[in-house]
Chains A and B, each alone.
Chain A
Amino acid sequence: MEKQKKIKRCASDRVLITVFYILVAIFAVVCLYPLLLAIGTSFADEASVTVNGYRIIPKKFSLSAYQMILGSMGKNLMNAYMVTIGVTVCGTILSVLVSAAFAYVLTVREFKPKGALNMFLYIPMIFSAGLLPWYIMCTKYYHLTDSFLALVLPCCMNAFNVFLLRNFFKSIPEELAEAAKIDGANYLRIFRVIYFPLAKVGLVTVGLFYALSYWNDYYLSLMFINKQNMYPLQYYLYNMLSNVQFMANQANASLGYNINIPLETTKMATICVTVGPIILLYPFAQKYITKGVIVGAVKG
């Protein structure tokens, strides 16, 4: 079989591509540098960080920050990981299902109240009742205090993501749905068999947005969770960091507070511990994200 001939690039193209590659490589290094700095600093001795500043390769190596985080609280940290993973998985699945269902309804031409539903979605994007009514609603009426659902339900549907999905669904030719309808499919079947698979790019993108928001959320647990065994990872570390900060800044420190708190290195170690797992999601979802964001952005 004849080998397919490659199109030969002209010299100016090659130069241009080389320049682009170099620029992208520089940009990648610039993006990667802070992360490497955080990793390096997390393994440094606190005193050497204060004297020498942040370094990728620490001048004086120390595991004290990780000992602080993982030490006697290691079990709690693992528990917090489990809670976060549970919340992220359940929350993402639920959010994608709810958002996709809502978005699909908004694209069905025959569905009359879709204008009202659109407004229902728009209004909270612009006006907010404020923190106190929301808090009272969640604690006094829905009884979400110390409940797993408190970490999932309050941000189960994001209006922006629904609009994004609606745009994805709108980009699917309506004729497909019409053909299915003629063949006897109902709306649920059309949604499940046609729209859901065809909007895979959008669903993955929105799913990743949701997964990230669930993974990074500490506010819901701050508001509703009092039991330490229900702390998710971010809240657990947020709590630990604010505790460390307090101890380090404790003015008129009392007897017994002569412990040297590894503040800066603890912050960096916290970053390393929290970003670890979620950062692994990106390489797998990258192709969907780029495609998804662009498609969603251009379709009106």
Chain B
Amino acid sequence: MKRNWSKKALSLLMAGTMMAGLAGCGSDAAQNDSSTAASTVQSSAAQSTDASTSDNPLRPDTLDTITVVLFGEESPRMQQLMEEKYQQVFIDEINTKVELMYLPWTENGAGGKVDLMIASGQEFDACIVDPTWAASSYSKGYLQDLSDVIDKYLPDWHENMDATAFDAYRYDGGVYAIPIGNKPTAGVYNTVCVRQDIMDAIGMDNIATLDDLTAYAEKAKEQYGLYATYELADAAYIIRGTSDRNLITVDKSNLWIDQDTKEFISLVDSPEFEAAVKLYNNWYNEGLIPKDILTNTVTLPFQANMSSLMRGTCGTTLIENEPGLQTVVPEGKTAEYYISPEKPIYKNSYENTAFQVPVTSDKADRVAMFVNLLQKNTELANLFAYGVEGTDYELIDGKVSKINTDELFYEWMIYNVKISTPTTAYTDEFMEVYKNWDNGAKPSATFGFNIDYSNIKTEKAQIDSVWDELAKPMLAGLKDYDSNIDELRSALKAAGWDTYVAEIQKQYDEFLANK
């Protein structure tokens, strides 16, 4: 009897396990049911929104849904606004329901989950990309040509953005992503950011040469005990000051391009490299460079009052560095200077962020309308970036004062100097400089050029390894130029430098031919 009982119990257990398994595997079926139900709701919503008051002539008659991949996490307020406010705006304006799928930032780039999703045919309609990732995705055939939709579905985008932004995403005559946001990018990393309070204290009023920079760094060390920097000598602002040539980096640090002759320059073989390494070597011998420069992973040494200079971006140090610095040094002030200010300023990128549409999606038109909406006007740009006025932010003297600090649609992505409202933290003087930062800048010779490394993967890995092992100690000032340059050159050659440059040159020639 007892044996029978245990058999029955076991059978029940196994049946239960099987049912649980089936129920779990069948969740998609359940989802299908719910999506059917949802589509019923949607169709009724479609009927109700047909009478929308939107003045958008491109608004489709039928409701459809797009899935957009973003990175990071959806804040509680973002969830709430998506349900209560944004979804209705999307339906009213473009008759489209937008579903957001969030992935960790580690998946932002080639070889991550997004690539896997496209390769496996998993459906989504848009994802943010940068030019490097887009180039890689294009070479794998993952991206859809958006040439047709950008002419038709981006009317407001064309009003508020610069069409040259597409250049970063043009391949073989097609356009493979829609850029978003409009911020100054001229001379990025070509300025040096210094402590203005120290400049005032030591009686300096300008930094225009590397000698000025050395004098500043020496006095900052002498009087304030600060190291000069944790950045290496191949920083763009150092190279800018080493010669009269106009060099812009092509491939991170070792390959540069002369803007006037459009010739590739191997940094290691250039006089600029020699000058930069010798400068740093002197700095190191004077104790201006920290001994642990290559091993210390301090996140923000300038803001932590550990170093006296760092690379600037686009006049944004007041935003990026000063608030952090002032938590350590309340009276700290910062400013950015161009070394060799007489040299031209180049714009190497327009915007780094864009929306790509995978080949698996058939809703490129809806995605274009969605991006257009994010850049349509001040009212909508503020709504998506800051939330609802009165609840999430208030306007004080025409500037945004945030009440809610939860992240909504990325502010850095949507921000457009033409339409977005700045926050109260930024003065009118700063905004005036910021808005006009790009004026007079020339487009770089490599604007829109992205390298596809797939044919030179091995060479790249070997060159990176040589760079880390031999070039970085020189660029940190730890090793002197004369006794180490030959070893570095021969190691780079052995690593396949010639093949590497030839391939990039070939791609660049094709890029120029297609331009």
Enumerate chain A interface residues (CB-CB to B < 8 A): 47, 50-51, 72-73, 75-76, 131-132, 135-136, 139-140, 142-149, 153, 188-189, 222-223, 226, 228, 235, 238-240, 242-243, 245-246, 248-260, 263-264
CA distance A139 to B352 in the complex (A): 32
The interface residues of chain B lying within 8 Å CB-to-CB of A259 are 405
Give me the 5 closest cross-chain CB pairs, A-B, nearest first.
Answer: A254-B412, A143-B28, A149-B24, A50-B304, A246-B105
Q: Report which of B113, B313, B323 forms a contact with A260, defined as CB distance below 8 A.
A: B323
B458 at the interface (CB under 8 A from A): no
CB contact under 8 A between A51 and B305, given known A146-B27, A243-B72, A252-B188 = yes
Q: Is the CB of B316 within 8 A of A253?
A: yes
Measured between beta carbons, the chain A residues less than 8 angstroms from B75 are 72-73
A258 lies within 8 A of B24 (CB) = no
Q: Cβ of A147 and Cβ of B27 under 8 Å apart?
A: yes
Q: B107 touching A222 by the CB < 8 A rule?
A: yes
A188 closest partner in B (C-beta): B10
Nearest residue, chain A, Cβ from B106: A242
Q: Is B483 an interface residue (CB 8 A)?
A: no
A252 touches B102 (CB 8 A): no
Cβ of A132: which chain B residues have Cβ within 8 Å of it?
116, 119-120
* Total number of residue pairs linking A and B with CB closer than 8 Å: 150
A-B contact pairs, 5 of them (CB 8 A): A51-B305, A228-B79, A228-B102, A246-B108, A248-B300
Whether, in the assembled complex, B365 has its beta carbon less than 8 Å from a beta carbon of chain A, the answer is no
Residues on B with beta carbons closer than 8 Å to the beta carbon of A149: 21, 24-25, 27
A47, B327: Cβ atoms under 8 Å? yes
Contact B73 A252 (CB under 8 A): no
CA distance A263 to B324 in the complex (A): 13
Q: Collect the chain B residues with CB atoms within 8 Å of residue A145's CB.
A: 28, 122
By a CB distance below 8 angstroms, the chain B residues around A147 are 24-25, 27-28
- Since A147-B24, A255-B422, A256-B411 are in contact, a sample of 14 more A-B pairs with Cβ atoms closer than 8 Å, ordered by chain A residue number, is A73-B73, A136-B121, A139-B122, A149-B21, A222-B113, A228-B74, A238-B106, A240-B73, A242-B105, A246-B105, A252-B188, A255-B420, A257-B412, A258-B425
B181-221 vs A, Cβ < 8 Å mask (1 yes, 0 no): 10101001000000000000000000000000000000000
Give the Cβ gap from B296 to chain A, nearest Cβ, in Å: 10
> Once bound together, how far apart are the Cα atoms of A245 and B71, in whole Å?
12
**Counting CB contacts under 8 A, is B271 at the interface?**
no
Q: How far is the CB of A227 from chain B (nearest CB, A)?
A: 9
The minimal Cβ–Cβ distance linking B9 to chain A, given in whole angstroms, is 11
Residues of A within 8 A of B352 (CB): 252
Question: Does B473 belong to the interface (CB within 8 Å)?
Answer: no
Give the complex CA separation of A189 and B300 in angstroms: 64
Given contacts A253-B412, A258-B319, contact A51 B423 (CB under 8 A): no
Which residues of B101-151 have CB atoms within 8 Å of chain A's CB atoms? 101-108, 113, 116, 119-122
B104 lies within 8 A of A239 (CB): yes
Residues of A contacting B327 with CB < 8 Å? 47, 260
* A291 CA to B298 CA, complexed, in Å: 43
A257 near B411 (CB under 8 angstroms)?
yes
Give B residues with C-beta under 8 Å from A.
Answer: 3, 6, 10, 21, 24-29, 31, 71-77, 79, 101-108, 113, 116, 119-122, 181, 183, 185, 188, 298-301, 303-306, 313-314, 316, 319-320, 322-324, 327-328, 352, 385, 402, 405-406, 411-412, 415, 420, 422-423, 425-426
Alpha-carbon separation in the docked complex, A113 to B423 (Å): 72
* Known A132-B120, A149-B24, A243-B73: A257·B319 in contact at CB below 8 Å: yes
Complex contacts, B185 vs chain A, CB 8 Å: 252
Provided the pairs A140-B121, A145-B28 are in contact, do residues A260 and B324 lie with their beta carbons within 8 angstroms?
A: yes
Compute how far the CA of A254 lies from the CA of B75 in the bound complex, rounded to whole angstroms: 19
Q: How far is the CB of B180 from chain A (nearest CB, A)?
A: 12
Which residues of B have CB within 8 Å of A235? 104
Find chain A residues with CB under 8 A from B79 CB.
228
With CB as the reference atom, state the residue of chain A lying closest to B107: A222
B319: chain A residues at CB < 8 Å are 253-255, 257-258
Say how far B307's CB is from chain A's closest CB, in angstroms: 11
CB distance from A218 to the nearest CB of B (A): 9
Q: Contacts A240-B73, A245-B105, A253-B412 given; indicate if A50 touches B183 (C-beta within 8 A).
A: no
A131 touches B425 (CB 8 A): no
Cα A76 to Cα B314 with chains together (Å): 37
Whether B313 and A256, one on each chain, are in contact in the complex, defined by CB atoms closer than 8 angstroms, is no
Q: B183: nearest residue on chain A (CB-CB)? A: A254
Within 8 Å CB of B29, what residues of A?
A: 143
A47 touches B299 (CB 8 A): no
Contact of A243 among B27, B104, B121 (CB under 8 A): B104
Q: Out of B77, B116, B411, which one reaches A131, CB within 8 Å?
A: B116
Chain B residues whose CB sits within 8 angstroms of the CB of A254 once the complex forms? 181, 183, 319, 411-412, 415
Say whether A51 contacts B415, CB under 8 Å.
no
Complex CA–CA separation, A142 to B25 (angstroms): 6
Closest B residue to A254 by beta carbon equals: B412
What is the bound-complex CA distance between A262 and B76, given in angstroms?
A: 20
Q: What is the minimal beta-carbon distance from A299 to any residue of chain B, in angstroms?
A: 29
Q: Smallest Cβ distance from B165 to chain A, in angstroms? A: 15
Chain A residue contacts of B425, Cβ below 8 A: 255, 258
Question: What residues of chain B lie closer than 8 Å to A243, measured between beta carbons?
Answer: 71-73, 104-105
Rounded to whole angstroms, the CA-CA distance of A228 and B412 in the bound complex is 23
Contact: A72 with B76, CB < 8 Å?
A: yes
> Across the interface, do A252 and B316 meet the contact criterion of CB distance under 8 Å?
yes
Quote the shortest CB–CB distance from B409 to chain A (angstroms): 12
> B299 to chain A: which residues have CB within 8 Å?
50, 248-249, 263-264
Contact B105 A47 (CB under 8 A): no
- Cα of A242 to Cα of B104 in the assembled complex, Å: 6
- Cα–Cα, bound, A153→B113 (Å): 20
